[in-house]
Amino acid sequence: MNYIIGAFKPACSITISLADGKSRKQVALKKENGKTVLIPVFHNQETISGKISIEPISGKKVEHNGIKIELLGQIEMYFDRGNFYDFTSLVRELDIPGEIYERKTFPFEFPTVEMPYETYNGANVRLRYVLKVSISRNYGGSIVEYQDFVVRNDSPPPSINNSIKMEVGIEDCLHIEFEYNKSKYHLKDVIVGKIYFLLVRIKIKNMDLEIRRRESTGSGTNTHVETETLAKFELMDGAPVREKVSPVTFSESIPVRLFLSPYELAPTYLNINNKFSVKYYLNLVLVDEEDRRYFKQQEITMYRLSETS
Amino acid sequence: MISDGVVEDEEKWLSAGIAGLQQNAFHMHRALDSNNLKDALKYSAQMLSELRTSRLSPHKYYELYMRAFDELRKLEIFFKEETSRGCSIVELYELVQHAGNILPRLYLLCTVGSVYIKSKEAPAKDVLKDLVEMCRGIQHPLRGLFLRSYLSQVSRDKLPDIGSEYEGRDADTVMDAVEFVLQNFTEMNKLWVRMQHQGPAREKDKRGKERGELRDLVGKNLHVLSQIEGVDLEMYKETVLPRVLEQVVNCKDELAQYYLMDCIIQVFPDEYHLQTLETLLSACPQLQSSVDVETVLSRLMERLSNYAASGSEVLPEFFQVEAFAKLNNSIGKVIEAQENMPIAGVVTLYASLLTFTLQVHPDRLDYIDQILGACVKKLSGREKLNDSKATKQIVALLSAPLEKYKDIDTALNLSNYPRIMECLNDGTHKEMANVIVQNILKNKTCISTAEKVDALFELIKGLIRDLDGDTHDELDADFIEEQNSVARLIQILHSDDPEEMLKVIETVRKHILTGGRKRLPYTVPPLIFSSLKLVRRLEKQEESVSGDEASTTPKKIFQLVTQTIEALTSIPVPELALGLYLQCAEAANDCDLEPVAYEFFTQAYILYEEEITDSKTQVTSIHLIIGTLQRMHVFGVENRDALTHKATGYSAKLLKKPDQCRAVYACSHLFWLDDHDSIRDEERVLLCLKRALRIANAVQQMANATRGSSGSALLFIEILNKYLYFYEKGVSQITVESIQDLIKLIRNEMQGDASPSDPAADAFLASTLRYIQFQKDKGGAVGDKYMLITD
């Protein structure tokens, strides 16, 4: 029995260990099978180095036509399943064709790798980075081992960060003005703002602020747009009643303070390799007593602020 | 039925809410016990979500709120422990803000905020400012009110007040505390007012009621403000009051304005009100016209009055701020601003102002007159008041000065006083007049000039004469009571100067003669007596200061009196007039005015003959006549004869024999005056007595004839007493024999078979005999005389 099982088992085990694997930051990532695993994090232009150890199973030898390690950056569209677009592909030959009898270790290094895009798991698209070790054989197929890693790219605080101010309304029914303190937020930022009610003639039940992510994939006629609401935050219960717009009396203002940290947000991605883009919007929604919704959407830019700064 | 259903449903929703709350509270407790912050936050937020309901009335919502409140106390303790375990309060403050629903979020925020302030990691003012600002998110009136009430509750011991451990380092730390409370107050009031305008119009009244239940939530803020140590007069004047008033005025809500104005008045100290009168008052005319400003102002004035009454040392404060002028001015403005203010309100205002003035400026009659004048201005030109509330207030208004000064004199000096009385309807006028009279009587005020008396009677004319349209005839108890009071009033009028007194009498007379037949019987007698009193005084004076060239002579008075009594003739009260004539005659007698006295008697006789027809009245009248006549000494023989003759004649003509008998033996006294030697006509005395005996006999015979038994011997015994009297006085015609005969006769009468037993007669006889015995035993000249009498 053991023999039979042994026959289907890979002839050797491959371990990929990164040079600073112990000290490197890791994040939890949900795999397709539902398990979360901890995965190391890299930045753009970091050097990725480590060791590969190959250990044949108990005394068997492994014949191979060569061993290589690849660093791949892939974009996967869900509606086009199975097709990966590699936007980055680096290869290192580790060994010339031969045989391995015992545990053997190969160091590797990808110096200052260009990884301009962040790892992303969206509704219709996935961008991932992976280290792929393959032992090619004549028979029995190649033996392959993957090591995912995550790329996260901090950006500096934007030099220009204007507030968002806008006046919206329905003539003679509703007239509000809103103001968010910035147009660009980092992922742990707080949205602070105010909603001014200048005229309210509809019976507002409550007001929410939503964070929406708009993911658009493909191009041209083949564009898919998927919008998800990532946060729904109640700003107001009931409504200030204001019958007339009077220039003298100051309007009612409702404060906005939304902490972004509890939500799983990622930076805004504009045109990733001509394949997809991800944008964020603040959607102010007023709901009246008949559950009609009145809303106004404003794009905000998300960016990743260096955590050390 | 429908409302029952609603109530039932409400019960159901409430118990569902409570159940949900308790369930989540249970989980929360478990999380607290296991120090699981994340779960604690989760379940507490869920628990607080029950407060998001819109289905409960304020009353029921309060019940739910209180339960949540209790739970939040536990949570607060947990938060506090959590920070001592090393959890950063700042983090915690952020963490609770992750809650998606705003209401639970804000309750949690307030709870953590409270711990935050206690931790002193941030200045109290900053945390408070943030909390009060964040609470704006709840714009639903009911939920907002309760949330802010919660905020107020958890923050009230943490304000950065002077002397508080949370006092800020900068100079205007109190300002921060005040600012916080003011803001919370303003927002709560807005919510409270808004409540009125939400929901269907048909439930407006219900909403008004519900709002009434919530008002203390709003008012509490003012209370908190008043408790802040650092709010001194300066700050109150510059910040607190203007801000509160601004909100009150701007909210344009009847209920809120009334309640809050009242709150301000009740919550802050008196001296603050006094120093900020102008500001406070200037808000009044700006209130909605439906607001019961008069009550508000009245309360204010009431407070100030009480303050003024608390001690004289505070009075200078009042003068300094010219409280009166300000109040007066403001009242004028309020009345002007509120066109449709009911007249009752106007009067209430003036009445309060008056009370205030009396307390603060008791010496300023001009102020009081000014108030009354303003009141008159408002009242005149409209129909007489019929509004019961208004009239009640007017009575209060008019009574106030009387009570204060206890002296009608003062009121009479107020030129506008009578003018207000003019505006009253008859009933009230009367009531007020009564109050005035009672006041005079109670305080025994002496009114001594004709001028004042005239004014007074003009004032109380409601009692003096029938006002138009009031002619019902029945004499009810109230009326009699009133008239008796007037009578007492007339008695109390007095001037030491006879001349003035005469004028007073003339004035009174002028007034009471307009009183009509109902009143004259009550008002004339006291006037007559008052006049006679004057007559007697004059007489005494003449004795002491003879030769005084006085214009006031008894004669003149008697003329007046005659005319006055004559007024009674139009009313069938002859016995009263007769009595008065006799009184006058006696007075004239004292003044030695024979013709006058004779004239009075004549009048009395005429009345007796022509008017008095009732036999019972005749009997009493004849005894009056006899009694008076007996005391007259002014008459010459002729006049006296004429009068006595008439009197005896009348006596004999009485209808009932026993009456005749008694009148006749009474007449005997007319002929024997102890102190006047000239009037001692023994013969006629005897004649009278004999005649009486004869009549008594006739009575007995009549009794025998009609009833078959003789009557009582009472008459005889009475006559025996007369005999004894004259015997004792030494009337020689009365002999011992005649007395003894009489006694014998009486004994016979009483022992006769036919005679009925009469205990009264027995007793009378027994005591008469005892008297004889007593005199005998006493001895002396009289005793000797009696010794002659033997049974």
Q: pLDDT tens digits for B202-244?
A: 888 888 888 988 999 999 999 999 999 888 999 999 999 999 9
CB atoms B139 and A257 under 8 Å: no
Above 70 in pLDDT, residue B510? yes
Interchain proximity B138–A237, CB inside 8 Å = yes
Distance from CA of B102 to the nearest CA of A (A): 5
Interface size A-B, in CB pairs within 8 Å, comes to 55
pLDDT tens-place string over residues B250-289? 888 889 999 999 999 999 999 899 889 888 888 888 888 8
Q: What is the ipTM of this complex?
A: 0.88
Query: Is A209 touching B (CB cutoff 8 A)?
Result: no
- B52 to chain A: closest CA residue: A237
Residues of B in contact with A236 (CB under 8 A): 102, 137-139
Chain B residues touching residue A232 (CB < 8 angstroms)? 100
- Residues in chain A within 8 Å Cβ distance of B190: 240
pLDDT of A192 over the 80 cut: yes
Q: Is the pLDDT of residue A22 over 70?
A: yes
**Quick check: B100 and A234 CB within 8 A?**
yes
Cβ contact, residue pair B143, A235, below 8 Å = no
The mean pLDDT of B717-743, rounded to a whole number, is 82
Does residue B341 or residue A255 have the better pLDDT?
A255
| B75-89, B142-156, B291-305, B628-642: least confidently modelled range | B628-642
Whether residue B1 is predicted with pLDDT greater than 50 in this model: the reply is: no
Whether the per-residue pLDDT at B676 is higher than 90: the answer is no
Chain B residues touching chain A at CB-CB below 8 Å: 52, 94, 97-98, 100-103, 105, 133-134, 136-141, 143-144, 190, 194, 197-198, 250
Q: Are the C-beta atoms of A266 and A118 separated by less than 8 Å? A: yes
Q: How near does any CA of chain A get to the CA of B455, in Å?
A: 58
Mean pLDDT of A206-221: 91
**What is the DSSP annotation of B23-74?**
HHHHHHHHHHHTT-HHHHHHHHHHHHHGGG-SSS-HHHHHHHHHHHHHHHHH
Averaged confidence pLDDT in chain B:
83
**What per-residue confidence (pLDDT) applies to B543?**
56
Q: Do the chains contact at A237 and B137, CB–CB below 8 Å?
A: yes
Q: How far apart are CA B324 and CA A212, in angstroms?
A: 67
As a dihedral over the C-alpha atoms of residue B759, residue B763, residue B766, residue B767, rounded to 10 degrees, the angle is -170
CB A164 within 8 A of CB A130: no
| Of A177-181, A240-244, B501-505, the least confident | A240-244
The rounded distance, in Å, linking the Cα atoms of A132 and A70 is 5
pLDDT computed for residue A74 by the predictor: 92
**Taking 60 as the threshold, does the pLDDT of residue A5 lie above it?**
no
Among B316, B323, B294, which Cα is nearest to B389's? B294
What is the percent of chain A with per-residue pLDDT over 90, rounded to a whole number?
Answer: 54
How far apart (Å, rounded) are the C-alpha atoms in residues B85 and A21? 34
For B616, the token pair is: 């019972």
Average pLDDT over residues B565-585: 80
B187 or B344, which is more confident? B187
Best of A237, A242, A286 to disrupt the B interface (most B CBs within 10 Å) is: A237
Structure tokens at B388: 């019961």
What is the tens place of the pLDDT at every residue in B387-431? 777 778 788 888 887 777 777 777 777 788 877 777 777 777 777
In this prediction the pTM is 0.74
Enumerate the residues of chain A whose CB falls inside 8 A of the CB of residue B133: 255
**What confidence category does residue B25 fall into, taking pLDDT thresholds of 50, 70 and 90?**
very high
CA pair distance B647, B623, nearest whole angstrom: 9
Question: Considering only CA atoms, which of B762, B662, B669 is closest in space to residue B712?
Answer: B762
CB within 8 Å: A236 and B139: yes
Residue with the two structure tokens 């206690």: B118
Least confident segment among A134-138, A187-191, A209-213, B137-141: A134-138
Nearest to A199 by CA among A168, A246, A245, A253: A245
What is residue A245's predicted lDDT score, i.e. its pLDDT?
44
How much is the pLDDT for A243? Answer: 56
Burial of B167 (0-12, 13-18, 19+ CB in 10 A): buried
Secondary structure, 3-state, B216-284: HHHHHHHHHHHHCCCCCHHHHHHHHHHHHHHHHHHHCCHHHHHHHHHHHHHHCCHHHHHHCHHHHHHHH
Distance CA B49, CA B106 (A): 11
Computed from CA positions of residues B186, B187, B192, B197, in that sequence, does the dihedral angle turn out positive or negative?
positive
**DSSP annotation of B468:** T
pLDDT for the residue numbered A1: 42
Mean pLDDT across the stretch B183-206?
87
Mutation site, B96, B102, B107, B189, interface A, largest A CB count within 10 A: B102
**Helix or strand or coil: residue A43?**
coil
Contacts of A253 in chain B (CB under 8 A): 136
Nearest to B362 by CA among B308, B398, B416, B320: B308
Question: What is the C-alpha end-to-end distance of chain A, expressed in Å?
Answer: 58
- C-alpha span between B228 and B268 (Å, rounded): 11
Would the CB atoms of A235 and B103 count as touching at under 8 Å?
no
pLDDT, one tens digit per residue, over A215-252 is: 998 877 888 899 999 999 999 999 887 654 444 445 68
**Which residues from chain B sit within 8 angstroms of residue A264, using beta carbons?**
none
* DSSP state, residue A140: S
Q: Say what the pLDDT of residue B755 is.
A: 60
* Of residues B105, B136, B250, nearest to A254 (C-beta): B136
Question: Min CA distance, B132 vs chain A (Å)?
Answer: 11
Residue located via tokens 């007595």: B689
Instruction: Indicate the pLDDT class of residue B667, thresholds 50, 70 and 90.
Output: confident
CB contact under 8 A, B52 and A239: no
Per-residue pLDDT averaged across A59-82, rounded?
Answer: 86
Partner B, chain A 231-260, Cβ-Cβ below 8 Å: 231-241, 249, 252-255, 257, 259
Angle, helix B124-134 to helix B173-196, in steps of 10 degrees: 10
User: For B693-722, what is the mean pLDDT?
Assistant: 80
Longest pairwise C-alpha distance within chain A:
91
Does position A31 have pLDDT exceeding 60, yes or no?
yes
Cβ(B757)–Cβ(B771) under 8 Å? Answer: no
Who has greater pLDDT, B754 or B627? B627
Tokens of B276: 């900020």
Beta-ladder partners of A193:
A180, A256
What integer pLDDT is reported at residue B542 of this predicted model?
A: 64
Residues of A in contact with B94 (CB under 8 A): 259
Work out the minimum CA distance from A240 to partner chain B, whole angstroms: 6
pLDDT of residue B352: 85
What is the per-residue pLDDT for B62?
A: 95
B100·A233 Cβ contact <8 A: yes
Residue of A nearest to B105 (CA): A234
Q: How many whole angstroms separate alpha carbon B189 and alpha carbon B194?
A: 8
Give the distance from residue B100's alpha carbon to the nearest chain A alpha carbon, in angstroms.
5
3-state secondary structure of B650: helix
Per-residue pLDDT, A277: 93
**Minimal CA–CA distance to B301: which of B363, B341, B361, B240?**
B361
Do the chains contact at B139 and A238, CB–CB below 8 Å?
yes
On chain B, the residues whose CB falls within 8 A of the CB of A249 are 250
Would strands A293-303 and A184-186 be described as parallel, antiparallel, or unpaired? parallel
Residue with the larger pLDDT of the pair B452 and B756: B452
Say which residue the tokens 């602070």 belong to: A192
CB B103 within 8 A of CB B52: yes
- Pick the most confident of A36-50, A75-89, B406-420: A36-50
Q: How many residues does chain B have?
A: 791
- Is residue B791's pLDDT more than 80? no
More confident of the two residues B97 and B434: B97
B52, B94, B137 member nearest A236 (Cβ): B137
Q: Does residue B573 register a pLDDT over 50?
A: yes
Instruction: Please list, in sequence order, all residues whose beta carbon lies within 8 angstroms of the beta carbon of residue B125, skipping any fewer than 6 positions away.
Output: B160, B168, B173, B176, B177, B180
Residues 6+ apart with CB under 8 A from B126: none
Q: Give percent of chain B with pLDDT exceeding 90.
A: 25
Closest by CA to B68, choosing from B147, B7, B121, B8, is: B147
- The predicted pLDDT at position B763 comes to 85
Q: Where are the alpha helices (DSSP H) in B591-656?
A: 594-610, 615-631, 637-652
Q: Which residue has the higher pLDDT, B165 or B171?
A: B165
Question: Could you report the per-residue pLDDT of A295-307, keeping only the tens digit for each?
Answer: 999 999 999 998 7
User: What's the confidence (pLDDT) of residue B507?
Assistant: 81
Q: Of A34-43, B106-115, B677-686, which one has max mean pLDDT?
A: B106-115
- Residue A192: DSSP 8-state: E
Nearest CA in chain B to A207: B137
Residues B247-284 as b/e (b if ≥16 CB within 10 A, e otherwise) read bbbebebbbbbbbbbbbbbebbebebbbbbbeebbbbb
- Tokens coding B153: 């509750």
Asked whether the predicted pLDDT for residue B91 surpasses 90, the reply is yes
Confidence band for B546, pLDDT divided at 50, 70 and 90: very low
Measured distance CA(B509)–CA(B511) in Å, rounded? 5
CA distance B340 to chain A (A): 27
Beta strands A190-200 and A36-42 are unpaired
Which range, of A45-54, A299-308, B37-46, B356-365, averages the lowest pLDDT?
B356-365
Rounded to the nearest 10 degrees, the angle between the axes of helix B759-778 and helix B736-751 is: 150
In whole numbers, what is the pLDDT of chain A averaged over residues?
87
- Smallest CA–CA distance, residue B150 to chain A, in Å, is 17
Phi–psi pair at B500, nearest 5 degrees: -65, -40
- Facing A241 at nearest CB: one of B94, B144, B194: B194
Placement of tokens 């109230």 in the chain: B478
CA separation for the pair B137, B125 (Å, rounded): 20
pLDDT tens sequence across B588-613: 887 878 888 888 888 888 888 888 88
Q: Is the pLDDT assigned to residue A199 strictly greater than 60?
A: yes
Of B97, B138, B144, Cβ closest to residue A259: B97
